[in-house]
Structure 1
Amino acid sequence: MRALNRLSAKSLNSFAAGKYADGGGLWFVKRDGGGAQWVLRVTVHGRRREMGLGGFPDTSLAQARKLAQSARVQSKDGTDPIKAREKSKRTAQRNLNILSDIAVDAYESRKAELKDDGNAGRWFSPLELHVLPKLGKVPVAELDQIDIRDTLSPIWHEKAHTAKKALNRLSICLRHAAALGLDVDLQATEKARALLGNQRHETQHIPAMPWKDVPHFYASLSDGTVTHLALRLLILTGLRSKPIRFAHVDQIVGDVWTVPAALLKGRKGATQDFRVPLSREAISVIKESKRHAREGFLFPNVRKGVLSDATMSRYMERCQMMYRPHGFRSSFRDWIAETTQTPNDIAEIAIGHVGGGTVERSYKRTDFLEQRRELHEQWAQHVSVATEQIMRST
């Protein structure tokens, strides 16, 4: 190898245009316009390559010699230093992806799995409100448990449910980043959870009316209004409020109501519609509701659209009740458990729950419609018994 370090830093500015060797393949190239740069000539796999090491004076003689020596070592080991540098740049560029970009990309890739394709914004909002304002511009490769802890600690106890959702969404974002080839700490969220500790907040369940009290409330829903009829059908079917509010005459054929999958919640992995066997009492309620129907919807709002999500809850509040419409699902489920010998699978399907993993669900094709038909009929007899007594006494 030729002698190294032939040039001196003091002489570089005085050179005329041309090429000047420092030794070991390192050249100082002075252009006619006065600019200059460093170029290293190396041989890799029998091929001669020229590698730019930076412009002068931004890259000094000492820096150029250091870069040249590193490239020589790589070429001696059979590694192309130019390709290695390009790969390093690509890796660095990937790792500069900021969290806000990763979060949006993760959200977009999961929209098909979310209710209404994520239009409600509930999946993204915990991140948008509580994480991205502080961490959105942080390169995802630099995100660690300390960052996450410091971000979520203000809401970890006061908004416990939201904080858990934010942590869960953040974990999904990190897994998404890893799938993109980014160098991230997949354990950062679990480490942050350990640092945050147990939450003081206790989950408040939706108040449910005891099943023994349901008949008296059902009997009070007697004025034939949209709200009363909707509450009656909600109680009888064990469904959530959305399928009730969007109930359409075209969904009901005979004594079976087929609820579209788009109206269902809590059935992750299920893409099929849900059949609900209608008791004689439920059919009677539907028949009475048809006189209110507008554009086929059984429970229209006063002005336009369907009954609002809050209408039934507000009615129960005005009745000075601590219970809420959603709680009637628990009333129904408790009645099944305490008064019948119904197998758990059937009991869970009766309130629209789908158990087991994806594989298990793919093999379990039955929805136990006939068994549930008998169950719904018995429940209807229970809740309407007070109504019958009132009618007989009048």
Structure 2
Amino acid sequence: MSKLTALQIKSLTNQAPKKYADGGGLYFCVRKSGVPYWMLRYSSQGKRHEVTLGRYPQMSLASAREEAVMTKQGLRTGTDPIREKAKLALPELNTVEELFQDWFDNDLSRRLKYPQIPERIYRKEIHPLIGNHPIADVTPRDVRAVLQKLHGSNRPTIANDTLMYMKQLFRHGIKLDLCQSNPASPFTVNDAGGEETSRERTLSLDELQHAFQVFQENISSFGRDNYLACCLFLVLGVRKSELCEAQWREFDLETGVWRLSKERSKTGAAITIPLPTQAIEWLQILHGHACGSPYVFPARRASKRPHMGPDTLNRAISKLFGREAGRKVQPPNKMGDLEHFTVHDLRRTFRSLAAAEGVPGHVAERCLNHKLKGVEGIYDRYDYFEERKQAHQQVAGLIDSIVCF
């Protein structure tokens, strides 16, 4: 088989579509429409493959032959040209920040219902220390530095989540062949926040009396919206995100119901929440405070979120206990000997108060928007609306004199 010449190649561009062999697996390909190109045919693992080397006339005959020789040399050392070409098509990722953004765009945002949770942890805990590091340069010592910074913050859950997300992040880097090993894999929860125990904190009526009295005495700094949010958490027993991100369109204050959609419900099922009379009054006050915002608790400062942040209320409560993150000099403890509590503890307290009022367990569980377990959950589709309405009103009546605003 005679080899092609440069003059022949030039004349072939006007011929009918065909592949013209130059020898050694190299072909000059003329298409019916489009630019002619060079193609190399080769065998790998018992199968025949074809890979495009370049377009004509940008790649000359001499350049095509040289590229074909180099490609075949790579094959002998185990380099697959198709796989290498696929790598070149990937976006250039150099730093940990660029790796995280690719992970967020192509995995987290598609897989998770709330991808902003790992994003927030990355931005606050991981990026400040290693975000600008080249991916392949991150070592276990860098991972340890991130974890050590968290040791003194008394946030074991955040520390464990940070380690978990670092492991997942660098596992994504391994998938993209951007690093050969995972620098976070040698670490366990004992190196981060330790084994976590579930909280069982509930507040007694005396503790609630003390806490809300301190809220009222410091209302100018604690905030009226924060105060009313605590009241609502206590009588509704809802989750933090469900109330902090609530919009006015979900409420019908005339009939006294809150329709929580399945998209916003953690269980993935919609639920209609009955509002006790006190909650309706508090929401009417908040409607005036919202100044036309579609959110019940609009953001009061410049923020990416249009509503109250997930940590806002817990930070305000902790400040009254003399704890404020990021400050060397802590504020005075105005709560005295009262044990520290969080927003979620108010939800747990609602459950305890409901039990004290004689509310049946299955009704209280539905008040918390928990799915009923076992056979009962399979066959019992009744929503207990009237029973839940009575339960919420009983709890509201029990703490009415404590939280009167």
Secondary structure of the residue aligned to 2:259 is strand
For 1:244 and 1:209, how far apart are their aligned partners in 2? 20
Q: How many Å separate the matches in 1 of 2:202 and 2:210?
A: 14
Structure 1 counterpart of 2:280, from 280, 283, 289: 283
Counterpart CA distance in 1 for 2:350 and 2:285 is 23
| Distance change in 2, residues 1:243/1:316 (3 Å) | farther
Matched, 1:379 2:395: yes
Q: CA deviation at 1:383?
A: 1.5
Structure 2 counterparts to residues 295-310 of structure 1, below 5 A = 295=292, 309-310=312-313
3-state SS, counterpart of residue 232 of structure 1: helix
Q: 1:256 touches 1:276 (CA, 8 Å); kept in 2?
A: yes
Cross-structure match for 2:161: 165
In the alignment, is the contact (CA less than 8 A) between 1:235 and 1:328 conserved in 2? yes
- 1:7 maps to none
Distance (whole Å) between structure 2 residues aligned to residue 102 and residue 315 of structure 1? 36
- Alignment match, 1:234: 233
Cα 1:198–1:220 change in 2 (3 A) is closer
CA 1:204–1:86: 2 relative to 1, 3 Å: same
Q: How does 1:1-394 map to 2 (within 5 A)?
A: 81=76, 84=79, 86-87=81-82, 89=84, 98=94, 99-109=96-106, 110-111=108-109, 113=112, 115=114, 118=116, 121-125=119-123, 126-133=125-132, 136-139=133-136, 146=140, 150-152=144-146, 154-155=148-149, 157-159=151-153, 160-177=156-173, 180=176, 185=181, 189-193=184-188, 197=191, 199=193, 209-211=203-205, 213-214=207-208, 226-227=224-225, 228-239=227-238, 244=243, 249-253=248-252, 254-259=255-260, 267=266, 270=268, 274-287=271-284, 294-295=291-292, 309-310=312-313, 313=317, 320-321=334-335, 322=338, 323=340, 326=343, 327-336=345-354, 340=358, 342-343=360-361, 347-352=364-369, 368-384=384-400
Encode CA deviations 1:237-280: one digit per residue, 9 max, x unaligned: 1235665566655432212112467877xx2x73x655321123
Stretch of structure 1 that moved more, 280-289 or 251-260 = 280-289
Cα 1:373–1:212 shift into 2, 3 Å: farther
Question: SS where residue 192 of structure 1 aligns?
Answer: coil
Q: How far apart in 1 are the matches of 2:261 and 2:346?
A: 21
- How many angstroms apart in 2 are the aligned matches of 1:306 and 1:183? 39
Amino acid at match of 1:331: T
Q: Which amino acid aligns with 2:166?
A: L
In 2: Cα distance, 1:217 partner to 1:332 partner? 15
Q: How far has the Cα of 1:332 moved from its partner?
A: 1.2
1:306-332 Cα deviation digits (max 9, x unpaired): 888459638966993255561322211
Deviation at 1:350, TM superposition (A): 2.8
8 Å Cα contact 2:230-2:346 kept in structure 1: no
**Matched residue type, 1:255:** G
Deviations 1:110-162 (A, max 9, x none): 236364x63995143133124434xx3133xx877x45654445336335544
CA positional deviation for 1:90:
5.0
**Cα-to-partner distance string for 1:331-353 (whole Å, 9 max, x where unaligned):** 11333456646446x54553356
Sequence identity of aligned pairs in percent?
Answer: 15
Asked if 2 retains the 8 angstrom alpha-carbon contact of 1:143 and 1:185, the reply is no
* Offset, 1:295: 1.7
C-alpha separation in 1, matches of 2:159 and 2:130: 10
Shift in CA distance, 132/210, structure 1 to aligned 2, threshold 3 Å: same
How far apart in 1 are the matches of 2:83 and 2:121? 35
Provide the alpha-carbon RMSD of the alignment.
Answer: 5.6
* Whole-Å separation in 2 of the counterparts to 1:362 and 1:208: 30
Aligned to 1:12: none
Q: Which of structures 1 and 2 has the bigger CA Rg?
A: 1
Q: Give the whole-Å Cα distance in 2 for the aligned partners of 1:211 and 1:251.
A: 31
Is this contact kept in 2: 1:280–1:377, CA < 8 A? yes
The one-letter code of the counterpart of 1:258 is: R
Structure 2 unaligned runs (5+)? Answer: 1-23, 25-41, 49-63, 322-331
Deviation digits for residues 53-87 of structure 1 (CA, Å, limit 9, x no counterpart): 99xxxxxxxxxxxx99x95xx9xxxxx64994525
Cα contact 1:155–1:163 (8 A) shared by 2? no
Distance in 1 (CA, whole Å) between partners of 2:381 and 2:352 is 26
Aligned amino acid, residue 191 of structure 1: P
Q: 1:367 to 1:167 in 2, by over 3 A?
A: farther
Any conservation in 1 of the 2:231–2:403 contact (CA below 8 Å)?
Answer: no
2: CA distance between counterparts of 1:245 and 1:92?
Answer: 43
CA distance in 1, matches of 2:164, 2:177: 20
Higher relative contact order structure (alpha carbons within 8 Å, sequence separation ≥ 6): 1
Q: How many residues align?
A: 308
TM (normalized to structure 1)? 0.54
Deviations 1:27-48 (A, max 9, x none): xxxxxxxxxxxxxxxx979xxx
Aligned residue for 2:397, secondary structure, equals: helix
Q: Once the 2 structures are TM-superposed, how far is the Cα of residue 230 of structure 1 from its aligned partner?
A: 4.2
Give me the TM-score of the superposition, normalised by structure 2: 0.53
What one-letter code is carried by the residue in structure 2 that aligns with 1:105?
A: D
1:181, distance to aligned residue in structure 2 (A): 7.0
